[in-house]
Amino acid sequence: MKQKLFTSLLTVAFLASITIWITGCKKDNENSLATEENQSGLRVANQNSFVYPPVANMFGKSYTQWGVDFWKWEIASDCGSIFGGGPQTQLFPDVYMLETGGGNVTIPSSKAILITIGSVINDYACPDTGFHPEAGETLEHFLTRGAIEYDGAYSNHTLIIDGNTIAGLSSYHVVSSMFDFIGNPDLANCVDPCVTGGVQQGVVAGTFVMIKPFAPGTHTIHFSLDYAGVTYSEDYIITSN
């Protein structure tokens, strides 16, 4: 069995809301309590306003499509730059792909930020001849099944933006259709022996979040997740200019 590519970044949430029914016969203290509960619900909604909702069409693409673009971008890296090991070229005019590794990052205030909290690409064909679909199984089903299995090892996703915890991260989980990509063959030496440098097929599964452009200034992003019983976390200080 080949070793798969994994990454840890960020994902986000859905808007939470609370409906409070208040009748005219409620006592004043009950009305006060209801108002406090309603304000609490609004705070959650405001926290989640940092990110685009799961059903959003962002710059012409869905979360699933952006997840595929993220991995096409990531898997084109070499061993020295993948997963935050070094600078990677940004490809999109409206979206900044945030690399893993944490640290200080300067991002134009005009750009949204795409981050993933735990995701995987399952890719084929592979020099390992033991890695293939079962008899009668389609290639897409084989790749999807494996991607979901590997991605299932992630749990307890957390995202905090400028001190605000983002709720509902499970709503940002995606599984793509099969797509074509070209990876950097150098990756066969460090993270994925199946990357050949030619046209291959892949399926992505994982949690992705698109953070809305920050106002100019300094901002913080923190995320954490568990993988196979171990907790991983990263912190970013973002300078938006």
Q: In this structure, what token pair is assigned to residue 62? A: 């869905």
- CA count, 13 A, side-chain hemisphere, 183: 29
pLDDT in the model for residue 85: 73
Q: Which helix (H) or strand (E) holds 59?
A: none
Please write the tens of the pLDDT for every residue from 7-32. 433 222 222 221 212 222 333 343 44
Please write the tens of the pLDDT for every residue from 102-128. 899 999 999 999 999 999 999 999 998
pLDDT in the model for residue 47: 61
Task: Name which of 184, 182, 179 is nearest 202 in CA terms.
Answer: 179
Question: Residue with structure tokens 């808007």?
Answer: 15
Question: Would you tell me how many other CB atoms lie within 10 Å of the CB of residue 139?
Answer: 14
Mean pLDDT, the chain, as a whole number?
83
Question: Residue with structure tokens 């050949």?
Answer: 196
Question: Would you tell me how many other CB atoms lie within 10 Å of the CB of residue 191?
Answer: 18
pLDDT in the model for residue 6: 43
pLDDT in the model for residue 171: 95
% of the chain at pLDDT higher than 70:
80
Q: Which residue has the higher pLDDT, 44 or 198?
A: 198
pLDDT in the model for residue 113: 97
Per residue, the 3-state secondary structure of 175-217, as one string, reads ECCCEEEECCHHHHHCCCCCCCCCEEEEEEEEEEEEECCCCCE
Question: Residue with structure tokens 């595929």?
Answer: 68
Q: Which residue has the higher pLDDT, 150 or 87?
A: 150
pLDDT band at 100 (very low <50, low <70, confident <90, very high): confident
pLDDT in the model for residue 46: 56
Where in the chain does DSSP place strands (E)? 5-7, 95-97, 103-107, 112-124, 154-161, 164-165, 173-175, 179-182, 199-211, 217-227, 230-240
pLDDT in the model for residue 20: 19
pLDDT in the model for residue 43: 43
Strand duo 199-211 + 173-175: pairing? antiparallel
pLDDT in the model for residue 48: 83
The domain segmentation of the chain, as residue ranges, is: 5-14+57-240
Using the predicted structure, report yes or no on whether residue 36 has a pLDDT greater than 70.
no
Q: 95, 113 in Cβ contact below 8 A? A: yes
pTM: 0.81
